[in-house]
Structure 1
């Protein structure tokens, strides 16, 4: 599966493999283009490997020399049955919060930074709402690369703590995620740093996301009817969709899943455009949301949202918008009934499954996979914020236990 070029998703023009972020002909999104896919027999041989990281699929990824791979053991996250929260459907949570830095971002970071190393980069930069920055910082530390991270000033203390632990150069930005995105884009253009921001800006990071599809095929032994993904801009959804399409092209599977995106009502530029069947407009009137990991205003890169909506439509899927009350409800309920403590962004995918079932879109006995993208410890401040809703007894001696029953 040789990688020799990049291809524009809009005009299909071919460009060489290098540190490119936009099509030089039309300015649209680039994706990695392969000369060929392995045949069915070759892929089935890959499946026999005992390797337990996403690099099991290295033949399907854009790193030419294995010596350039930077890995912390990412991938191969569990597929957990969620039988209590929605007993009428076959619902699973893909536990992406069990990746090395506690979010799915380790997939795109590992692949993206490995390609950056192969291309000679010594400094990487990333715009982030927290998780992507943490992830890139960890992989940069392993390779002793300089790592520059730009995050909104209201980023959770849990994520900031991780960034500092990994030695990242942390820069707080006034404004939202889009302000961070545009600042890092300018920085990388001026100084030639590798931009590992995990939107569509880096075509190599999306390739890491597609390994979710390969794993789901191995774990599920068939194709789920629905896959639900929290959406900031959409590369995780795009990567998973691409992975399943590659499996179909190789003759491994016959059908494709329906892809569902989910955004918070307070910042939902892509979802609103999907519902209104129009092009995406940036969210200039956005407000804070519990699901800060998907609060992307898309200022200056609205085309990312258009591409995500194109893929959702192509899959026959849907888009869900959750209110703050709905996000809070599912975030609090998930650990209580399923034992899964996710950050609110990750819990959104399960909330979307519930909403689609309640609305009659997901049918009884449908198989559904919700990608639970980040761990609850990413946002410890939220637990403290809502502590008043939890009855926690105080004890000082053995007799006190009788009074707490």
Structure 2
């Protein structure tokens, strides 16, 4: 087999997991301990695998405790939840639109070892979370990231997460990774103007009067 000067950088690559696990170190350093609950999106399942590895290693050295790991797949790509490969996954959350996660077994182990769970959220729940954090916190995340927020809201409502619990919800990607979703769901549509100063000023003046 001819070798090419490229490297596979999904979560099959152990170096990626080693790099990603340091995010768990940072959480412990910022909080002083591991959070009681860590919510995270699940696509290829590398993040939940890496974070759990990081929390375990940091706890071994620093005694920071271990969180309950709660991972969230999109309903249309919930291979782990359904325990079956999904040949044609469909979800608005493109970053986690994966029907056969590379780190499937490790993700299940992370949930089981931490007394956590891999759950699913609908596209509607994801988009609600997506708009909620933009409106209330000024955070522009891509939809796949918002599966963590959607999952927390879902499990607080169901009672699986108690109201008032300290939860860290990981946002894994900036909204610019998927700007089309923001454009598609926005009630205010972009306006195209010529590169003309008078035209731009006129438009701004009209908008200010609305």
Q: Distance in 2 between matches of 1:392 and 1:271?
A: 38
More helix by share: 2
CA 1:395–1:352: 2 relative to 1, 3 Å: farther
Kindly indicate whether the alpha-carbon contact (under 8 Å) linking 2:69 and 2:115 is maintained by their aligned counterparts in 1. yes
Quote the residue 2:106 is aligned against: 307
- Is the contact between residue 223 and residue 253 of structure 1 (CA under 8 Å) also seen in structure 2? no
Per the alignment, in what secondary structure is the counterpart of residue 69 of structure 2? strand
Instruction: Determine the structure 2 residue equivalent to 1:297.
Output: 99
Deviation at 1:395, TM superposition (A): 7.8
Q: After TM superposition, which residue ranges in structure 1, 4 or more long, deviate above 4 angstroms?
A: 391-395
Q: Take 2:2 and 2:80, find their aligned partners in 1: how far apart are those partners? A: 30
In the TM superposition, 1:97-246 aligns within 5 A as 190-191=2-3, 193-199=5-11, 201-246=12-57
In structure 2, how many angstroms separate the alpha carbons of the residues matched to 1:395 and 1:372? 37
Which whole-Å CA distance do the structure 2 matches of 1:390 and 1:348 have between them?
Answer: 24
Instruction: Tell me the residue number matched to 1:396.
Output: 202
Query: What is aligned with 2:69?
Result: 259
Deviation at 1:396, TM superposition (A): 2.2
The answer to whether the aligner puts 1:372 opposite 2:149 as a matched pair is no
Question: How many angstroms does 1:376 deviate by?
Answer: 0.6
Q: 1:219 to 1:396 in 2, by over 3 A?
A: same
Equivalent in the alignment of 1:354: 153
Aligned twin of 2:134? 335
Counting strand residues as a fraction of each chain, which structure ranks higher? 1
The 3-state SS of whatever aligns with 1:353 is: helix
Query: How big is each residue's C-alpha offset from its partner over 1:346-369, in whole Å with a ceiling of 9 and x where there is no partner?
Result: 111111111111111111231111
Q: Which has the higher contact order (CA 8 A, sep 6+)?
A: 2
Q: Residue 284 of structure 1 corresponds to which residue in structure 2?
A: 87
- Distance in 1 of aligned mates of 2:6 and 2:209: 59
Secondary structure at the counterpart of residue 119 of structure 2: strand
Q: Taking structure 1 as reference, are residues 401 and 351 closer, same or farther at Cα in structure 2, changes over 3 Å only?
A: same
Task: Figure out how many residues of one structure are paired with residues of the other and give that number.
Answer: 202
Unaligned runs of 5+ in 1: 1-188, 274-280
The separation in 1 between residues aligned to 2:174 and 2:19, in whole angstroms, is 19
In structure 2, do the counterparts of structure 1 residues 258 and 357 end up closer, same or farther at CA, with 3 Å as the change threshold?
Answer: same
The Cα shift of 1:272 comes to: 2.1
Please state whether the residue corresponding to 1:321 is helix, strand or coil. strand
Q: Which runs of 5+ in 2 are unaligned?
A: 192-199
- Distance in 2 (CA, whole Å) between partners of 1:204 and 1:220 is 26
| Kept in 2: contact 1:228–1:349 (CA 8 A) | yes
Counterparts in 2 of 1:272 and 1:397: CA distance versus 1, 3 Å: closer
- Cα pair distance change 1:391/1:222, threshold 3 Å: same
**Could you state the TM-score of these two structures normalised by the residue count of structure 2?**
0.86
Note if contact 2:32-2:64 (Cα within 8 Å) is conserved in structure 1: no
Rounded to whole Å, the distance in 2 between the matches of 1:386 and 1:331 is 10
Partner secondary structure for residue 76 of structure 2: coil
Distance 1:294 1:373 in 2: 10
Indicate if the aligned counterparts of 1:226 and 1:369 stay in contact, CA closer than 8 A. Answer: yes
Q: Evaluate the alpha carbon distance shift between residue 358 and residue 306 of structure 1 in structure 2; reply closer, same or farther with a 3 A threshold.
A: same
